[in-house]
Structure 1
């Protein structure tokens, strides 16, 4: 699943945001490093303070759109019925 990217409220970088259960218009920003933070060996990792913030998601509640203009499978000549493609299970 491709996550939309939204700007972090702290560092303003575009970060992926996952949906929040029960709130279609809200998302939680994924954990990410602060751009100015240097990694110190043998020290714990420090995330951006904006990590895990709840933000507004772009296009809230949008459903999957199906292209209905696709060509339908060809039917049997003159019968108006399609031949079902089946196979025996046993």
Structure 2
């Protein structure tokens, strides 16, 4: 399953976010290293401050929008027996 990527508010990188159970519009960022890790911390294993944070996901829980649709077809399709095509 491809997970949506959301920008981390601390390091501004796009990180994968998994859906939080029971909250379809929220996701938890995956653990990731800060961008300045080698310079500041050497070989120590350090996570970004934004790791495992809960963020809004771009899509699954979004409100659907109404779109205007032309209900009247330009021309009526009639089958060989005078029936209309349904599909």
TM-score relative to the length of structure 2? 0.63
Partner residue, 1:3: 3
Pairwise CA distance, 1:9:
1.2
Matches within 5 A, 1:11-30: 11-30=11-30
Distance 2:26 2:48 in 1: 20
Distance 2:6 2:33 in 1: 15
Partner residue, 2:42: 40
Pairwise CA distance, 1:4:
0.4
**Pairwise CA RMSD:** 1.5
Partner residue, 1:80: none
**Are 2:59 and 1:59 equivalent residues in the alignment?**
yes
Which 5+ residue runs of structure 2 have no aligned equivalent?
Answer: 63-87
Stretches (4+) displaced over 6 A: none
Pairwise CA distance, 1:37:
1.1
Which 5+ residue runs of structure 1 have no aligned equivalent?
Answer: 63-90
Number of aligned pairs? 60
Matches within 5 A, 1:63-82: none
Distance 1:3 1:19 in 2: 8
Distance 1:61 1:6 in 2: 14
